Amino acid sequence: MTNPEFKFSVSATDGAARRGTLKTGHGDIRTPAFMPVGTAATVKGMTPEAVRETGADILLGNTYHLMLRPGADRVQRLGGLHKFMNWERPILTDSGGFQVMSLNELRKIDENGVTFKSHIDGKRFELTPERSMEIQNQLDATITMAFDECTPFPADADLAATSMRRSMRWAKRSRDAFEVRKGYGLFGIVQGSIYEDLRLESVGDLTGIGFDGYAVGGLAVGEGQEEMFRTLEFTSPALPNDKPRYLMGVGKPDDLVGAVMRGIDMFDCVLPTRSGRNAQAFTRFGTVNMRNARHADDSRPLDDLCGCPACRNYCRGYLHHLVRAKEILGSVLLTWHNLHYYQELMAGMRSAIEQQRLADFALHFFARREEGDIDPA
Amino acid sequence: MTNPEFKFSVSATDGAARRGTLKTGHGDIRTPAFMPVGTAATVKGMTPEAVRETGADILLGNTYHLMLRPGADRVQRLGGLHKFMNWERPILTDSGGFQVMSLNELRKIDENGVTFKSHIDGKRFELTPERSMEIQNQLDATITMAFDECTPFPADADLAATSMRRSMRWAKRSRDAFEVRKGYGLFGIVQGSIYEDLRLESVGDLTGIGFDGYAVGGLAVGEGQEEMFRTLEFTSPALPNDKPRYLMGVGKPDDLVGAVMRGIDMFDCVLPTRSGRNAQAFTRFGTVNMRNARHADDSRPLDDLCGCPACRNYCRGYLHHLVRAKEILGSVLLTWHNLHYYQELMAGMRSAIEQQRLADFALHFFARREEGDIDPA
């Protein structure tokens, strides 16, 4: 089961936090890593060159969206997702399970999988562990995610157990259906809601099957940061030390800092990109809303220490103008800034772990947010 | 009246066509030149770095849009339009006259100028020759356009004469109000609809006043290409040889070729940018509609000889996908391609004029369009 060209190594630790490298057939991923979301084969508003400039090593693609449009078979015919979207570096695809369940109301779920209708053309689709593996293979995902059910929140222990155990059966079917290729990997997904016994049972099942990495799923679904961190505190240490740990769909900058300190290596979230299109900028001091009228005559950059094009080349007054005028460049520049900020945050944590000063880094991170020039939400 | 740091020189001619350089305080403009339109202080969908990469020497900004939002005084406070939008090269601004008359229905025009209400906040504005000069000065336009009335089409000779003569009085007021600064220039605008005697009268009036360049206005308003070319054939030779000639709001690629052959040096048009956002790509062979389903499985580039990022890095199937999924990157890449195509066309004409083979260039240009892989409109 071990894949020689898909290998995770940890070069430094600081408490539970790890500084690592995930080697893949499409290149190395420096961890802790943040993966920008490229839902429909594009990180919205960004060229791949710009995404790379922000420091991203890996992107995430959404199986659900891609299977509906343009279609996984079409992506395969056109050379796979890397070539299709001009991103030769690693790509992780989700299994489609979470999104079909959260975005599609015309779905039916049973032990075999999910059937649903496309919101685009009404066409009927099926997602099962086997089909999900096939689609992710057609997409040419560097990292394939096992097909699972994201347990809703809140869920009582019985519901959480039933849901998690189905996901574990699906994990086994995913593993069996996954076509092992050099340089490619398959991640299992831990479920079990906020229940320690269920999370540990899930970890046991998955490690028994054996995966190239382990994701923590079913979090960031409304349980709150405190509950999420508590769950990570008993889940993360149970996971194998020699495999990467990926916290799915997370999160806000402070979520990332807290989760890295709890042993997480990989993240994905739409927040920096979606917020960028919605005039929200993440900064060292917290969130700035560029739509706010107070920025209209401001000749200062968004953040004078930030090296992104939005901060290097423009004043707040200009960014505010672009937002108000609904100009594409406003979305582009704020997305760029946010991704730059996220990647710089990850780079800062990687460096802090190497120097065994992550606690200090976190202290300063949270202190700066108390003194900030921010816009209240 | 002569401005030593704002100077036009012609280095080669080929028939009526001229290969020239317009030196300005913000840099040189190679002519014949196409000016991308940056209506609201941004070329829609493009960073200024990307615009420059396509080969543009100069942008156009719209006084009407900028005075309403963010406001000319605000642009001035924030350092002028060049700094505001991070484009240190030349910028030409229109006078606001054409746009207030074509875009604003709440306007009143008299001998003094135009009063109108903002469509954004209902605020009352006035545009007169004096006010237009003041605003363009606040914007820090490298090239300021005289305030004129764009004569509607069709217009009988009486209406065209009345309208043109008012524009000539406004041209004199514009000249008087224009603050002469080193490196900055003021262009007059020839009116007179399609009437030779009126056009020549207008040229006489303007050259009597004296401008740093001469625009041909009131064309591309529905008269058709043949009538436009006919009007250029008697207007263009009447203009001074030592000043640039600018055909406003034009046009399609074949308009540009025909107008350069009739002695025009500068152009602006929203066509490449607007079409790019609307899935239309200009190519050597004509117009390709990337929304067309026939492109969905096409692994070929949009144009295999084009060096723009859209053609270098992506297949037609991907561009089609972006258009269908309404992704920002679709607008970005197709705008980039179109501006690249336009600038390459201008560069081709400049080189052809230098080599005295513009007729041959035009012959090939039109021949290629007969054999093309295009989408019918």
User: How high is the ipTM of this complex?
Assistant: 0.97
Judged by a CB distance cut-off of 8 A, whether residue A357 touches chain B is: no
**B329 to chain A, minimum CA–CA distance in Å?**
6
B277: nearest CA partner in chain A: A328
Residue A234 structure tokens: 């008993």
pLDDT tens by residue, B187-207: 999 999 999 999 999 999 999
Q: A5 to each of A99, A118, B74, B141, B372, how far by Cα in Å?
A: 30, 37, 57, 58, 47
Closest residue in chain A to residue B331, using alpha carbons only: A328
Min Cα–Cα distance to chain A from B299, Å: 6
Q: Which residues of B touch A79 (CB under 8 A)?
A: 299, 315
C-alpha distance from A37 to closest chain B C-alpha (Å):
14
CA distance linking residue B40 with residue B18, whole number of Å: 31
> Cβ distance A316 to A298 under 8 Å?
yes
In terms of Cα–Cα distance, which of B278, B276, B287 is closest to B309? B276
A161: tokens are 């157990």
Which residue in B63, B65, B61, B54 sits closest to B91, CA to CA?
A: B61
- In this complex, the residue of A47, A314, A327 whose CB is nearest that of residue B309 is A47
Give contacts of B69 with chain A, Cβ < 8 Å. Answer: 321, 324-325
Of A41, A47, A328, the CB nearest to B321: A41
Position B371 pLDDT exceeds 80: no
Which residue is it, tokens 């317009």? B22
Domain coordinates of chain B in residue numbers? 7-269, 276-368
What is the structure's pLDDT at A119?
Answer: 87
B280: left (phi over 0), alpha (psi -120 to 50) or beta: beta
pTM attached to this predicted model: 0.97
Catalytic residue among A14, A94, A148, A265: A94
C-alpha pair distances (Å), B319 with each of A328, B43, B204, B295, B354:
18, 20, 50, 8, 36
Strand order through the sheet with B17-24: B7-14, B17-24, B27-31
Q: Look at strands A33-36 and A266-269 and give their pairing.
A: parallel
Contact A297 B77 (CB under 8 A): yes
> Does pLDDT of B2 surpass 60?
no
Chain A to chain B Cβ contacts (< 8 Å): 106
pLDDT above 90: percentage of residues in chain B: 91
Residue A214 makes CB contacts below 8 A (sequence gap 6+) with A187, A188, A189, A190, A203, A206, A207, A239, A240, A243, A244, A245, A246
User: Residues of chain A with pLDDT > 90: what percent?
Assistant: 91
Cβ within 8 Å, pair B70-A321: yes
What's the longest Cα–Cα distance across chain B?
60
Q: Which residues pair with A93 in a beta bridge?
A: A61, A144
- pLDDT exceeds cutoff 80 at B338: yes
Task: Return the pLDDT at B369.
Answer: 80
Give all strands (DSSP E) within A32-184, no chain letters.
33-36, 59-61, 91-93, 107-110, 113-117, 124-127, 143-145
- Model pLDDT for residues B153-173, shown as the tens digit of each residue: 999 999 999 999 999 999 999
| Contact residues on chain B for A42, CB-CB shorter than 8 A | 322, 325, 327-329
> A332, B47: Cβ pair inside 8 Å?
yes
Asked whether the predicted pLDDT for residue B307 surpasses 90, the reply is yes
Confidence class of residue B147 from pLDDT cuts 50, 70 and 90? very high
- Look at residue A279 and tell me whether its pLDDT is greater than 90: yes
Residue B218 burial (CB count, 10 A): 31
Distance CA B347, CA A25 (A): 42
Q: What is the per-residue pLDDT across A194-240, written as a single tens digit (0 to 9) for each?
A: 999 999 999 999 999 999 999 999 999 999 999 999 999 999 999 99
Q: Quick one: average pLDDT of B62-85?
A: 98
Task: Please answer yes or no on whether A332 and B77 come within 8 Å at the CB atom.
Answer: no
DSSP symbol at A145: E
User: Could you tell me if A270 and A36 are in contact, meaning their C-beta atoms sit under 8 angstroms apart?
Assistant: no
- Which residues of chain A form beta strands (DSSP E)? 7-14, 17-24, 27-31, 33-36, 59-61, 91-93, 107-110, 113-117, 124-127, 143-145, 185-190, 213-216, 245-247, 266-269, 280-283, 286-289
**Mean per-residue pLDDT over chain A, rounded:** 96
Which amino acids of B are annotated catalytic? 94, 268
Candidate from B297, B325, B328 with C-beta closest to A69? B325
Euclidean distance between CA atoms A111 and B235, whole angstroms: 79
Give the mean pLDDT of chain B.
96
Contact across the interface for B41 and A321, Cβ inside 8 Å = yes
pLDDT surpasses 90 at A102: no
pLDDT tens for each residue of A22-41: 999 999 999 999 999 999 99
CA-nearest of B185, B40, B184, B162 to B99 is B40
Report the CATH fold assignment for A7-269: TIM Barrel (3.20.20)
CA A206, A251, A237, A55 dihedral sign is positive
Amino acid at A129: P
The fraction of chain A above a pLDDT of 70, given in percent, is 97
The pLDDT of residue A64 is: 96
A44 touches chain B (CB under 8 A): yes
Structural contact between residues B352 and B358, judged by C-beta atoms closer than 8 angstroms: yes
Strands A245-247 and A124-127, bridge-based pairing: unpaired
| Mean pLDDT confidence for A324-340 | 98
By Cβ distance, the residue of A74, A325, A328 closest to B297 is: A74
| Nearest CB neighbour to B74, from listed A47, A79, A317 | A317
- Is residue A123's pLDDT more than 70? yes
C-alpha distance from A266 to closest chain B C-alpha (Å)? 26
Residue A68: what residue type? L
Q: Residue A208 to residues A116, A146, B11: CA-CA distances in angstroms?
A: 31, 14, 78
Query: A-chain residues within 8 Å CB-CB of B79?
Result: 299, 315
Mutate one of B332, B334, B337 to test the A interface: name it (highest A CB count within 10 A).
Answer: B332
The encoded tokens of residue B325 equal 């999924």
Say whether pLDDT at A376 is over 70: no
Tell me whether strands A7-14 and A17-24 are parallel, antiparallel or unpaired.
antiparallel
pLDDT of B220 reads 94
- What pLDDT score does B278 carry? 98
pLDDT tens digit string along A291-313? 999 999 999 999 999 999 999 99
Closest alpha carbon within chain A to B312: A86
Residue A168 backbone class (left: φ over 0; alpha: ψ -120 to 50; beta: rest): alpha
A312 contacts chain B (CB < 8 A): no
**What token pair was written down for B249?**
């709001």
Does A48 score more than 70 pLDDT?
A: yes
- Give residue-wise pLDDT tens across range A349-366: 999 999 999 999 999 999
- Measured between CA atoms, the residue of chain B closest to residue A40 is B325
